[in-house]
Amino acid sequence: MANHAQSCAYLVQVCVVTTWYGIIYQTPVDYMEWSKNYTMASQHFLMTKMFLLYLMPAFAQASQSCVSSTGAGKCPNTWRQRGDNCYEVTSTDKSWSEAKEECKQMSSVMSTPNSMNETLFLLGMVSTDRLWIDCYYNDNQQEMECKDGMRVIQYNGWEPGEPNGHSTEPCGEIVRGSGKWNDNRCDLSYLAICKRPVPAMLHL
Ligand SMILES: [Ca+2]
């Protein structure tokens, strides 16, 4: 494994040097200067082109080797792992926006479940009856929008008849019992579950 680590480190060094060499000797301005006087500089340019042409495929293959040696690490202490994600409960009951901000401060996002299985997992982390999720009323679309980080969630977890509050209940919550979602006022105080990917770890 040490040899693999050395080869990855060597690859990084070569790529840095190659990039530096390419930047220095392949700028259009320099090339114009070289064209005026056919000097050693133009030979450098030609050598660089050949260097990149023949060695870049090898770099790509070696990079793939390095990438394939990465894998899932461990969740931080106190965070629970489920699949490729880590989960942690916010510190105290707080408003929807404060709960979302706490998750952000922990380099994570406020969880919105993608399935009933994930819903049950989230509810299993707390004993409360309600739990904030990252659903918020979109004024432009005039409907609730639920996100998992940057991605809009397609899973529909709404209780029958919900969401019904429109702009007066712009924040989403899970209701224990049914495990379904309701829209509610944002100034109520609940917990939320923060979610972040399991950190990658390079196996050297
Ligand atoms: Ca409602």
Q: How far is the CA of 164 from the centre of ligand 1 (A)?
A: 5
Q: Mean pLDDT in the chain?
A: 80
Distances 174 to 2, 4, 23, 190 between C-alpha atoms, Å: 49, 47, 53, 10
Q: Bigger pLDDT: 92 or 24?
A: 92
Pick the CATH number of 80-199 from 3.10.100.10, 3.40.50.1240, 3.50.50.60, 2.170.190.11: 3.10.100.10
Q: How many angstroms is it from 130 CA to the middle of ligand 1?
A: 13
CA 65 / ligand 1 centre spacing (Å): 51
Give DSSP secondary structure letters for 167-196.
GGS-EEEEETTTTEEEEE-TTS-BEEEEEE
In the predicted structure, residue 33 carries a pLDDT above the cut 80: no
Q: Give residue 200's pLDDT.
A: 84
Percent of the chain with pLDDT over 90: 62
Q: What tens digit of pLDDT does each residue of 38-87 get?
A: 455 555 555 556 555 555 555 555 555 555 445 578 999 999 999 999 99
More confident residue, 10 or 83: 83
* Tokens representing residue 57 in the block: 């495929």
What pLDDT is attached to residue 54?
55
Ligand 1 ion: nearby residues, β-carbon < 5 Å: 162, 164-165, 169, 182-183
Q: How far is the CA of 200 from the centre of ligand 1 (A)?
A: 39
Predicted model pTM: 0.66
* DSSP letter, residue 34: H
Compute, in angstroms, the gap from residue 104 CA to the centroid of ligand 1. 26
For residue 86, the CA-to-ligand 1 centroid distance in Å is: 29
- Give the per-residue pLDDT at 169: 98
Q: How far is the CA of 9 from the centre of ligand 1 (A)?
A: 55
Going from the Cα of 81 to the center of ligand 1, the distance in angstroms, rounded, reads: 31
168-186 pLDDT, tens digit per residue, is 999 999 999 999 999 999 9
For ligand 1, the distance from its centroid to the CA atom of residue 131, given in whole angstroms, is 14
Q: What integer pLDDT is reported at residue 13 of this predicted model? A: 59
Percent of the chain past pLDDT 70, that is, above it, reads 64
pLDDT of residue 27: 46
User: Quick check: 169 and 36 in contact, CB under 8 A?
Assistant: no
* Interval between CA 159 and ligand 1 midpoint (Å): 9
Looking at per-residue pLDDT, the higher value among 90 and 38 belongs to 90
Confidence at residue 42, expressed as pLDDT on a 0 to 100 scale: 56
Q: What is the DSSP letter of 166?
A: G
Residue given tokens 């105080």 in the structure block:
189
Q: Report, as an integer, the average pLDDT of 154-176.
A: 97
Mean pLDDT score, 22-32: 47
Report domain extents, the chain. 2-70, 80-199
Specify the pLDDT at position 51.
56
| pLDDT value at 9 more than 60 | no
What number is the average pLDDT over the span 96-115?
98
Query: Nearest Cα to 61, choosing from 7, 21, 5, 18?
Result: 7
Tell whether the model's pLDDT for residue 8 goes beyond 80: no
